[in-house]
Amino acid sequence: MRVLVRRCWGPPLAHGAGRGRPSPQWRALARLGWEDSRVREKPPWRVLFFGTDQFAREALRALHAARENQEEELIDKLEVVTLPSLSPRGLPVKQYAVQSQLPIYEWPDVGSGEYDVGVVASFGRLLSEALILKFPYGILNVHPSCLPRWRGPAPVIHTVLHGDTVTGVTIMQIRPKRFDVGPILKQETIPVPPKSTAKELEAVLSRLGANMLISVLKNLPESLSNGRQQPTEGATYAPKISAGTSCVKWEEQTSEQIFRLYRAIGNIIPLQTLWMGNTIKLLDLVEVNSSVLADPKLTGQALIPGSLIYHKQSQILLVYCKDSWIGVRSVMLKKRLTATDFYNGYLHPWYQKNSQAQPSQCRFQTLRLPTKKKQNKTVTM
């Protein structure tokens, strides 16, 4: 089937005279710059999905379930575009597509089929205007934040890292050349569960986003015609996390900030610090209870950030930061060590050699990683 391709955004086009009163769905298409009798005005839709990770996998799962639901007739055709991966099994989206026997393309290959609408979730690539124009209804993006807050590739991480108490999911329409700036079709908010990790929060948002996506697709023309522009105020950016982010700054960061950092990125990049010239990774952080904080060892001396004490009763390493203490149950130094292993193998021998030393002399120090020069990369199709 051939369709007339026109711009998926811009001012409304006048509907030709003598054709009768257009339906609400048709008026929505006209607002998008489409005017062809062969464009579908209602489901079932032909969908091309772009995605990579677990968040995107949940959206794909919902689309696949909708396609398999013969009674509802929401999705007629479903194909998948994902990114190359070093893993033989591929990324989570590819794994699900293979398991479900869905056609798969590897970026920048997007196939040559005809579709009504594209859907993007955690894809991380700018889509060209030429690609967007292939879809009569444009391309939708399932984004795990309340746009315009946390535009960019790592919104869930930054939500946790900055201690946001409210987050949500936004279904928006893609615009070329810029990430996450298109009109909002649907947005829902939820409270951030206290002390949740980014991984836990992402799982909650993935289910919310999948349900919202299906809701939008059920009333796609109306959703597009009722889209609203993002507000200009309140925009923040959520850049990718680098290895340097994982370096704990003992002199600058409070205990609350360090715990947020741990909950935000600990499952991706372990927090890092420096001990006696060696890089050490902090694997399991815990809050320190009030009974431990009352120990005279902690209150009876002047301490500086990074000071390190082994608390035998609770079997944790206590590290002093800008304002208080954090607890560490295990570390990585050549191999994984419990706090007790680290004390017996490293701390205790050091104190035996330096019997007059103060805890402030045996401390963690901020690890300074060399900065890499930024390289400008352009992806073209």
pTM: 0.86
Same domain? 141 vs 109? yes
Residues 33-78: tens digit of each pLDDT: 555 546 899 999 999 999 999 999 999 999 999 999 989 999 999 9
Tell me if 307 is assigned to some domain.
Answer: yes
Q: Do 262 and 186 have their domain in common?
A: no
pLDDT at 190: 98
> Do 303 and 346 sit in the same domain of this protein?
yes
Inter-CA distances, 63 with 84, 122, 280, Å = 22, 15, 44
Distance CA 151, CA 293 (A): 40
Q: Are residues 219 and 249 in the same domain?
A: no
Which strands, in side-by-side order, build the sheet including 45-51?
A: 104-106, 75-82, 45-51, 117-121, 139-143, 166-173, 184-191
The predicted pLDDT at position 354 comes to 77
Q: Nearest to residue 48, comparing CAs of 99, 101, 128, 121?
A: 121
**Quick check: 368 pLDDT over 60?**
yes
Q: What are phi and psi of 202, to 5 degrees?
A: -60, -40
Average pLDDT over residues 347-365: 78
149 closest CA partner among 245, 231, 240: 231
Structure confidence at residue 378 (pLDDT):
31
Angle between helices 198-218 and 255-265 (to 10 degrees): 60
The tokens describing 277, both together, are 């010239």
Average pLDDT along the chain? 87
Residues 63 and 207 in one domain: yes
Q: Which residue has the tokens 């396609």?
A: 67
Torsion, Cα of 321, 369, 336, 340 (10° steps) = -30
Query: Measuring CA to CA, which residue among 268, 237, 159, 206 is closest to residue 52?
Result: 206
In a domain, 9, yes or no: no
- Considering only CA atoms, give the Rg of the chain: 26
Predicted local confidence at residue 352, as pLDDT? 78
CA atoms within 13 A on the CB side of 232: 0
We report the CATH number of the domain holding residue 140 as 3.40.50.170
CA distances to 198, 321, 362 from 281, rounded to whole Å, are: 19, 16, 17
> Quick check: bond before 12 cis, omega within 30?
no
Same domain, 195 and 48: yes
pLDDT of residue 350: 81
159/247 same-domain check: no
pLDDT given at position 137: 97
Burial category of 286 from C-beta neighbours within 10 Å (exposed 0-12, middle 13-18, buried 19 and up):
middle
Statement: residue 29 has pLDDT above 90: no
Is 1 a domain residue?
A: no
Q: Give the pLDDT score at 201.
A: 98
Confidence at residue 205, expressed as pLDDT on a 0 to 100 scale: 98
In a domain, 2, yes or no: no
Is the per-residue pLDDT at 25 higher than 60?
Answer: no
Euclidean distance between CA atoms 265 and 283, whole angstroms: 11
Instruction: CATH number of the domain at 295, please.
Output: 3.10.25.10
Q: 176 pLDDT exceeds 70?
A: yes
Choice among 188-197, 228-237, 285-294 with the minimum mean pLDDT: 285-294
Same domain, residue pair 169 and 57: yes
The beta strand positions in the chain, using DSSP E, are: 45-51, 75-82, 104-106, 117-121, 139-143, 166-173, 184-191, 271-275, 278-286, 308-311, 316-320, 325-333, 335-338
Q: What is the pLDDT of residue 290?
A: 86
Give the Cα separation of 15 and 69 in Å (integer): 35
Confidence of residue 3 (pLDDT cuts 50, 70, 90): very low
Q: Is the peptide bond before 176 cis (omega within 30 degrees of 0)?
A: no
Do 250 and 157 sit in the same domain of this protein?
A: no
Q: Name the domain boundary from 168, 193, 226.
A: 226
**What pLDDT sits at residue 381?**
28
Question: What is residue 362's predicted lDDT score, i.e. its pLDDT?
Answer: 79
**Range in 100-114, 136-150, 180-194, 298-312 with the lowest mean pLDDT:** 298-312
Q: Indicate whether 188 and 272 sit together in one domain.
A: no
The range of the structural domain enclosing residue 310 comes to: 243-366
For residue 19, tell me if it sits in a domain: no
Share of the chain above pLDDT 90, in %: 74
Looking at per-residue confidence, does 305 or 356 come out higher? 305
User: What is the percent of the chain with per-residue pLDDT over 70, rounded to a whole number?
Assistant: 85
Does the pLDDT at position 316 exceed 70? yes
Q: Indicate if the pLDDT at residue 18 is higher than 80.
A: no
Same domain, 315 and 179: no
Q: Which of 226, 259, 280 lies at the terminal end of a domain, its last residue?
A: 226
Asked if residue 374 belongs to a domain, the reply is no
- Which pLDDT score is estimated for 360? 64
Residues 324, 251 share a domain: yes
pLDDT single digits (tens) 252-276: 999 999 999 999 999 999 999 999 8
pLDDT of 26 strictly over 90: no
Query: Is 21's pLDDT higher than 80?
Result: no
| Number of domains forming the structure of the chain | 2
Is 315 domain-assigned?
yes
